[in-house]
Structure formats: C-alpha cells, structure tokens
Chains A and B, each alone.
Chain A
Amino acid sequence: MKNGIKNVFDKLGLDTRLLGMIGALLLVWIVFDFYTGGRFLTARNLFNLSVQTASVGVMATGMVFVIVTRHIDLSVGAMLGFVGMLMGALQTFVLPDLLGTGHPMIWIITALFGIALGSLIGAFQGWIIGYLTVPAFIVTLGGLLVWRGAAWWVTSGQTVAPLDATFKLLGGGAEGTLGAMPSWVLGLFAAGAALVLLALSRSRKASHGFVVKPVWAELTVGGIVAALILGYTWLMNSYPLPKGAVKRIYAARGEIVPEGLNLVYGIAIPVLILLLVAAVMTFVASRTRFGRYVYATGGNPEAAELSGINTRLLTVKIFALMGALTGIAAIIASARLGSAANDLGTLDELRVIAAAVIGGTALAGGVGTIYGAILGALIMQSLQSGMAMVGVDAPLQAIVVGVVLVFAVYIDIVYRRRTGL
C-alpha cells in the first residue's frame, strides 16, 4: 500500500519539497482558523494575506538568485525606504508642478523611475561585490545604513502624503483591485496558459523520444493547477466591497449606486504584480542563459568561470535585478500605505531572506526556487497575521517566527540528507 502511494507520487512527478511546504502552509492555516473561530480562512482574510505578502514576495524572488549565487543582500529594506521616499517626493512635489495634479502620466513616470533607481543602486552594489571583490555581506550591510540614512535626507524625515491617486491603486485597497469580470478573465487565461504550457512541454519531450508521464498523471497535475488558480479567483470574487466603499466610488464618478448592486474586490493589483513577477522570474530561472548561469555559478563558481561565464558581470546583473524588484516592492509598499515614510521597509531584508530560506533556498548556494520563495513569504505572513488575529503579544510573535525559521531550515537539511541531494 505504502509503495503504491509512493508510486503514484513518482508518476505525478511532483516535487516532494513543494508538497511539504504546501502541507506546512495548510497546517498553519487550519490551526489559526481553529483558534480564531473560523475568521482566518475567510475570503476577506485571504485577500488581506495575499496583499500583505506581495511586497516581500516580489523581493524574495530576487533574493533567490542572490542567495543561490552564495551572496546575500541585507540592503533591500533600506533600499525600499530610499526608493519609496524619492518616488513619493517625485510624484508629490515635482511631477504635479510640471504636468498638473492628477496627470495620468505621473504614476507611470514615478514607477519607472523607482524601478530604474533600484536597478542602478543594485548594479552599483553588485559592481563593488563582483569587480572590487568586497563580500556581499559587507557591501549590503553598508548599504543598509547608507540607504536608510539617505531615505531620511530626502525630506529631512518628513512623511510624504498624499500620494498620487492612480499610483495608490498599485497597493490594493478597495479600488486597487480588478473587480469580478477582469478577475475571471485573468483566472481563466492563467489556468488555460498553464494547461497549454504543460501540453507543449509534453509534446516537446515526446518529439525527442523521452519517456513522458502517463496521461492520467499529466491531467491530474494540470487539473490541480487549474483548480488552484480558479479557486483563488472565485474566492477573491466572493469578497464583497463594503457598501460605503461602493458609494464612494460612485460618488467620485458623480453617479448614484444602482439598486441591488453588489460589487466584489476580485484579485488585488499588487497580487497581480506579484504573480507577473513570479511568472517572469520562473521563466528567467529556467529558460534563459542568465538563469542557467546563476544556478551554475551557485553550484560551482570555479566551474562556471572555467566554462567561460563572466561571473563578475553576472554578479552585477543579479544585484541589479534584485534592485529592480526592490523598486517594484517599494511601489507596492508605499502605494498600500498611501504615503512614503522614511522607515518604510524597516526589517524587510530579514523577512525577504527568511522567505527565501523557508522556501528551500540553500545559503550554501546552487539551490532555490521562485515558487518556494513566494510560498515561504506566504507562510511567514500567515504566521504573523494569524498570531496577530489570535492576539499573541508582539514579542512572542517575534520569538515564534524566529524559532520557525530555524526549525524550517533544519527540516530542509534533514530532507536533503535523506534524499541525498
């Protein structure tokens, strides 16, 4: 019997580590749902949870590449603060004077500026690490102090508010969601795309004469993936907008709320951004030379160099990418708050590193997945929100998260030893 089950899992070709993490996440959810009397597993809470995970999740995908190549980036939280402050100043003090308040280009220029600035800072730090060979730990520890200090200088410590109205939509909230119809379109498109990709991969392998999974296994995996995507879409679409928010939206348009109208949130824009980032980063990791070189360098830096890979330039690119993702995270984080304060992103570096590590990224290098990092971020955020809902004191929350981090990595080490990987 036991062998039969193992055989089924082998045929399905599922990653056992992935299953383990999903199991851990479900366990956390069920336990908190029990202790909160069913308030945890509600559309409302899962909506909030996914929005709260977005900023750290975006950065965690980049941290995977950084840690896989045996580096670390301690500066992302401070960098997020600095980039967030400059974006706040740009859209509040500079662009309205040039373009007029509420101009539709403001959020685009601000967002592009933030991503570009993040890339530049990251590339600069990567250059010091790659070409001047100062260890990443030191460079980014310095960066942590430098960028947090710089964030204060932007406005001498004053919080910038309010931010541009369109820009704020990128942070989620009542209006920063897709609504029912677009959410369904997106969900169906994503599920369809996943199935098409699975089918294409299968036919490509078959055309080379490789052994492929049995059809039932392929269909099961495809079915689970599609069900998860559509299930999430359905859940988000069953979270109704409060009547007050609906009234506000219609009042802003100068219209009256039609009788009997029930609007829903749908998928939040920051979550959409996270999903897009995850898709792009997974693609980069598995289908581009850059991604291949990241993993090769992490596995054996000397071998990568002897294979003609320019590992120094690679380091610059990896940190520039990390910086660009930090820029995106800064957009989400400041837009969600509706303001830019100089303490934005404090301690985020630790959340991001913990997410990547809980998600199975090995500090020894060479191993780590994008989906793992995002799951790791979700597990961390679930723990924190859950404890807050249950009413665990803040100091105890920190203790629990710290213990879980160490325990998760220990489990991962035991798992690796057992499977010999």
Chain B
Amino acid sequence: MKDIQTPLVEMKDIHISFGGVKAVDHVDVHLHAGEVVGLLGHNGAGKSTLIKILSGAYRADGGEILINGEKASINNPRDARSYNIETIYQTLALADNLDAASNLFLGRELVTSLGLVDDDAMEAETRRIMGRLNPNFQKFSDPVSALSGGQRQSVAIARAVYFNARILIMDEPTAALGPQETKMVSELIQKLKAEGIGIFLISHDIHDVMELCDRASVMKNGKLVGTVNVADVTDDDLLAMIILGKNPAEKR
C-alpha cells in the first residue's frame, strides 16, 4: 500500500567524497509520511554524512533529492528548513552561551513589529513547548551550558519539533540520555509518526531500531548494504548487515 504513494523524501544515487575518500557512495534511500526509517552502520559508515546532505550541511557531489516527488535543491541549512526538514544533530548544535529560547529560535527569531528580537515572546513560547516536552525543565534564563545532557537534548528536540517539521532527522537522539529520558524520546517518536511526520533515525542501538523503525537502511564504508522491513528481519540479520555487510535478501 505504502509503496504506491509518492515517498515524502527520495535520495537517489547520492555521492560525496572528502579528499578522495568516498564518504557516501551512490546511495539510495527513501522515506514515507508517517514512517520511521532507521539508518544503521558503524562509525564512519556514512550515515551522518548522508543525512547532513539532506539537512543542507553538506552539498552532495552528485545525485538528486526529491521531496514529494519533486526535485529539491538543498544547498544550505536554510533551504532544508524551507522544505520543513528539521534536524537534531548528534552534537546538538547548540550555542552554549545562549539561553534555551535563543537556541530554539536561532535563525528564526520572533520579532516585534519593528523587526527587533522579542526575547520575552520567545521565552513564553519556549515555556509553552517545554511544558509539553519536558515539564521538569525550569532553567529558562541560564545559558544552555549550565544544563544537564538531557535538558540540552530536550532543547534540541524542541527546536526541531516547534517549527512544524514534516521531515525529521534524528542523529543519535538518545545518546546523552538516561533511561527515563530515552523513554520520553521513544514516546515522542511514536507521537510524531502518528501525526504523519517522516523520520530518519540514526542509531547505534539495534533494539531502538527494532522497536521504533518501520524500515532500516544499513550502510558500510559509504555504500548502502541494503534496506529491509524491520518486521521481516531479526536482530542478528541486522547485525550481520552492519558487521559483515551481508544482505539477508542475498541469502535466499
């Protein structure tokens, strides 16, 4: 059923090299609305590089990106945002010296009628969304460097969710989190999925992927090993793909 619809995102034949190293080597992935696609692979397999091309942080050497079946040109993070692509980076990409509200609205500040940044309005909005995402969050006037790992993560997540993302990229969203907060992120993913948002989830954790994802694409040394329906494979199949680069479809 799903395959008949036009995918939300199609990345076709994407390739990029850094100094002769093929970081992403002619990879195809796609994502439907309301679907979670896991991107798996070792460190340096090219998953982060691939999604940074989608989020506009890198420009691909070749290949094309289709959004809703139409060719999209994404040359910088601003372009990506204009296609409602939001990204939670593994590094969180927060300006540590600024407070939560300034980070949440960075590059998209709320302004007064005179075009001046409206800090009070931004803080009010931040309080509103944090009340939903992480009710324990209270440090609204401290720089984010004063926050715990989990609190910083929730600022990064709030930033991606606030602006009505249709395509969400999450790069290791639970890496810095304790069990409680990890559960919160899992619930959030389920909820966003139910709202019809398409999510690329990069993770090291096979269990996360098995639990949260509909499909999984595995990369190794910049190449796509294969894409599988999570329901059709076991943990071991995925591990074999990651470690050996062996596609379960080839077995049969």
Interface residues of A (CB under 8 A from B): 204-205, 207-210, 287-289, 291-292, 295-300, 302-309, 366-367, 420-421
- B120 near A204 with CB under 8 A, answer yes
A307 CA / B107 CA spacing, docked (Å): 5
- A210 near B120 with CB under 8 A, answer yes
Chain B residues near A204: list those with CB within 8 A.
Answer: 120
Answer whether residue B233 sits at the interface, using C-beta atoms and an 8 A cutoff.
no
Q: What 3 A-B pairs have minimum CB-CB distances, sorted nearest first?
A: A299-B95, A299-B97, A307-B107
A328 CA / B117 CA spacing, docked (Å): 27
Chain A residues near B108: list those with CB within 8 A.
Answer: 307-308
Chain A residues near B55: list those with CB within 8 A.
Answer: 306
Interface of A is mostly: helix
Distance between B67 CB and nearest chain A CB, rounded to angstroms? 17
Of B8-16, B28-36, B73-81, the one touching chain A: B73-81
> Among A296, A298, A305, which residue has its beta carbon within 8 angstroms of that of B77?
A305
Sample of 13 further A-B pairs with CB below 8 A, known A299-B95, A299-B96: A208-B124, A291-B117, A297-B95, A299-B97, A303-B106, A304-B95, A306-B55, A306-B89, A307-B77, A307-B93, A307-B108, A309-B107, A367-B97
Answer whether residue B151 sits at the interface, using C-beta atoms and an 8 A cutoff.
no
Chain B residues near A289: list those with CB within 8 A.
Answer: 109, 111, 115, 117
> Could you list 21 A-B pairs, sorted by A, with CB under 8 Å?
A207-B120, A208-B120, A210-B123, A288-B116, A289-B117, A292-B98, A292-B102, A295-B98, A296-B95, A298-B97, A299-B96, A303-B93, A303-B95, A303-B106, A305-B77, A306-B55, A306-B93, A307-B77, A307-B93, A366-B96, A421-B145
Interface residues of B in 83-107 (CB under 8 A from A): 87, 89, 91-98, 102-103, 106-107
A291 CA / B89 CA spacing, docked (Å): 24
> Among A208, A209, A296, A308, which residue has its beta carbon within 8 angstroms of that of B121?
A208
- B106 near A296 with CB under 8 A, answer yes
- B77 near A308 with CB under 8 A, answer yes
Chain B residues near A367: list those with CB within 8 A.
Answer: 97
Distance between B32 CB and nearest chain A CB, rounded to angstroms? 26
Answer whether residue B57 sits at the interface, using C-beta atoms and an 8 A cutoff.
yes
Chain A residues near B115: list those with CB within 8 A.
Answer: 288-289
- A306 near B87 with CB under 8 A, answer yes
- A303 near B94 with CB under 8 A, answer yes
Interface residues of B (CB under 8 A from A): 55, 57, 76-78, 81, 87, 89, 91-98, 102-103, 106-109, 111, 115-117, 120-121, 123-124, 143, 145-146
A308 CA / B83 CA spacing, docked (Å): 13
A289 CA / B107 CA spacing, docked (Å): 8
Distance between B248 CB and nearest chain A CB, rounded to angstroms? 35
A305 CA / B92 CA spacing, docked (Å): 13
Interface of B is mostly: loop
- A302 near B107 with CB under 8 A, answer no
- B120 near A287 with CB under 8 A, answer no
A306 CA / B81 CA spacing, docked (Å): 10
Distance between B147 CB and nearest chain A CB, rounded to angstroms? 11
Distance between A277 CB and nearest chain B CB, rounded to angstroms? 19
A216 CA / B55 CA spacing, docked (Å): 50
- A308 near B107 with CB under 8 A, answer yes
Chain B residues near A304: list those with CB within 8 A.
Answer: 95, 106-107
- A306 near B57 with CB under 8 A, answer yes
> Which among B92, B95, B106, B117 has the highest number of chain A CB atoms within 10 Å?
B95
A309 CA / B87 CA spacing, docked (Å): 15
Chain B residues near A209: list those with CB within 8 A.
Answer: 124
- A205 near B76 with CB under 8 A, answer no
> Among A207, A287, A291, A300, which residue has its beta carbon within 8 angstroms of that of B93?
A300
A288 CA / B111 CA spacing, docked (Å): 9
* Minimal Cβ-Cβ distance residue in A for B77: A308
> Which among B55, B107, B145 has the highest number of chain A CB atoms within 10 Å?
B107
* Minimal Cβ-Cβ distance residue in B for A68: B97
Chain A residues near B77: list those with CB within 8 A.
Answer: 305-308
Chain A residues near B103: list those with CB within 8 A.
Answer: 303
A207 CA / B118 CA spacing, docked (Å): 13
> Which among B87, B89, B91, B97 has the highest number of chain A CB atoms within 10 Å?
B97
Distance between B80 CB and nearest chain A CB, rounded to angstroms? 8
Chain A residues near B102: list those with CB within 8 A.
Answer: 292, 296
Chain A residues near B107: list those with CB within 8 A.
Answer: 304, 307-309
Distance between B129 CB and nearest chain A CB, rounded to angstroms? 14
Chain A residues near B145: list those with CB within 8 A.
Answer: 421
> Among A205, A291, A295, A296, which residue has its beta carbon within 8 angstroms of that of B120?
A205
Given contacts A288-B116, A367-B97, contact A309 B91 (CB under 8 A): no
> Which among A291, A305, A307 has the highest number of chain B CB atoms within 10 Å?
A307
A309 CA / B103 CA spacing, docked (Å): 12
A210 CA / B140 CA spacing, docked (Å): 11
Given contacts A208-B123, A306-B89, contact A300 B94 (CB under 8 A): yes
Distance between A282 CB and nearest chain B CB, rounded to angstroms? 13
Chain A residues near B95: list those with CB within 8 A.
Answer: 295-297, 299-300, 303-304, 366
Chain B residues near A308: list those with CB within 8 A.
Answer: 76-78, 81, 107-108
* Minimal Cβ-Cβ distance residue in A for B156: A303
Distance between B90 CB and nearest chain A CB, rounded to angstroms? 12
Distance between A67 CB and nearest chain B CB, rounded to angstroms? 13
Chain B residues near A207: list those with CB within 8 A.
Answer: 120
